[in-house]
Amino acid sequence: MEGLNEEEQAIVEMVRDFVNREVKPVAQELDHTNTYPEKLIEQMKQLGVFGLAIPEPWGEARVSTPCYALVTEELARGWMSLAGAMGGHTVVAKLILDYGTQEQKDTYLPRMATGELRATMALTEPGGGSDLQAMRTFASSAGDEYVINGSKTWITNARTAELIALLCKTDPAATPAHKGISILLVEKGPGFSLSRDLPKLGYKGVESCEIAFDDFRVPKSSLLGEREGQGFAQMMRGLEIGRIQVASRALGVGRAALEDALRYSQERESFGKPIWKHQSIGNYLADMATKLTAARQLVLYASRRFDAGERADMEAGMAKLFASETAMQIALDAIRIHGGYGYSTEFDVERYFRDAPLMIVGEGTNEIQRNVIARQLVSRGTVAP
């Protein structure tokens, strides 16, 4: 594993073994029954997966972003929902680490590192989609408290997470609008409600919910950092690691589909020979492997740039765009290779095909990623690395 030290390689291999031993045998049943993977989540806590982004003194096993991406790929190779269970958690950990007060770091990070405290982020609103500046969730000042009203949707882990990084407006009159946006670190209480679990095509087992705030009060100390109006910029940086994580999920789904297709093409015979020897099937396999390898290199490139402290929104956007589109194509081609069996729920390739679209629309749609990439190309004035 290029670029990883021995300890990081051991972590990736440990997660790979966990996936092969514990996840692969049960993923299909958990997915088809839409069952929350409580046992697997507990095992992930024991492995330290929820603390991979948290350094000492609060955590024990902070790893590089390339290592984090490869761990995410392994989890998604087993069942994409498991990678989703730790994605938003990691973004919140990075937000607190980079922007939180000392008290916020000391309060939340030790318990987040062990998975005792699970976190999620609340950005999207029912009528807003990717236009975060158009949000209508407001936090008005009332003495030493904020009073929050509004709603959010597509909140992963909303039932099981106890800490929410809430993106909201603290100054609705600010111009431009993003100057009035802040992040509040909130825990559930009076005025907070979960309205429903959203029915989904794939991404089963882990809940995605609508949440609402009705005169929900939190102390002023809930503000991430020291000053209001920083939340939009903070979250945009946080979403760089979020998009790398989503891209890594796509790698995992694509790899699982390719592995299944490669195995099936060697076992299945037609016209007297294994089907991989037929040129049409061999071409599919070659293209699938080539695109997956290219996607992984894009993800690792964005990861290295993120770790270097450089602006990585374009690189993360490219990685997320290309990896997600690649995973969708590989999942479809895996169905083609399986023929009629690919349409059967007895084979995992139908699950990959249902899971893959999430990465195309999640964490900012691919259309948004293209906008980000185009703006950055013009702004940077060069396509040189």
Question: Within a 10 A sphere around the Cβ of 346, how many other Cβ atoms?
Answer: 7
DSSP codes of every residue in 209-230 = EEEEEEEEEEEGGGBSSSSTT-
- Residue 120 in this model has a pLDDT that exceeds 80: yes
Superfamily name and number for 232-379: Butyryl-CoA Dehydrogenase, subunit A, domain 3 (1.20.140.10)
pLDDT-derived band at 83 (thresholds 50, 70, 90) equals very high
- Among residues 210, 240, 325, 363, the one annotated as catalytic is 363
Q: 190: helix, coil or strand?
A: coil
Q: What does the pLDDT average to over 154-171?
A: 96
- For the stretch 255-273, pLDDT in tens is 999 999 999 999 999 999 9
- For the stretch 203-249, pLDDT in tens is 999 999 999 999 999 999 999 999 999 999 999 999 999 999 999 99
DSSP codes of every residue in 326-376 = HHHHHHHHHHHHHGGGGGSTTSTHHHHHHHHHHHHHTTS-HHHHHHHHHHH
What architecture is the 120-228 domain classified under in CATH? Beta Barrel (2.40)
Task: Please indicate whether residue 363 is annotated as part of the active site.
Answer: yes
By percentage, how much of the chain surpasses pLDDT 70? Answer: 100
pLDDT-derived band at 385 (thresholds 50, 70, 90) equals confident
Return d(Cα 156, Cα 140) in angstroms, integer: 26
Domain(s) labelled CATH 2.40.110.10 in the chain stretch across 120-228
Return d(Cα 351, Cα 26) in angstroms, integer: 13
Q: What pLDDT, on a 0 to 100 scale, did the predictor assign at position 26?
A: 98
DSSP, res 138: E
Return d(Cα 125, Cα 49) in angstroms, integer: 29
CA 338 to chain centre: 29
Q: What pLDDT, on a 0 to 100 scale, did the predictor assign at position 133?
A: 76
Superfamily name and number for 6-118: Acyl-CoA dehydrogenase/oxidase, N-terminal domain (1.10.540.10)
pLDDT-derived band at 1 (thresholds 50, 70, 90) equals confident
Q: What is the mean pLDDT of the chain?
A: 96
- Residue 97 in this model has a pLDDT that exceeds 90: yes
By percentage, how much of the chain surpasses pLDDT 90? Answer: 93
Nearest to 94 by CA among 82, 81, 105: 105
Question: Within a 10 A sphere around the Cβ of 227, how many other Cβ atoms?
Answer: 9
- For the stretch 43-74, pLDDT in tens is 999 999 999 999 999 998 799 999 999 999 99
Separation of first and last alpha carbons in the chain: 23
Q: What pLDDT, on a 0 to 100 scale, did the predictor assign at position 127?
A: 82
Return d(Cα 219, Cα 24) in angstroms, integer: 44
Domain(s) labelled CATH 1.10.540.10 in the chain stretch across 6-118
- For the stretch 23-36, pLDDT in tens is 999 999 999 999 99
CB contact at 8 A, 164 and 119: yes
- Tokens for 41? 């989540």
Domain(s) labelled CATH 1.20.140.10 in the chain stretch across 232-379
- For the stretch 357-373, pLDDT in tens is 999 999 999 999 999 99
Tell me which residue has tokens 């959010």: 152
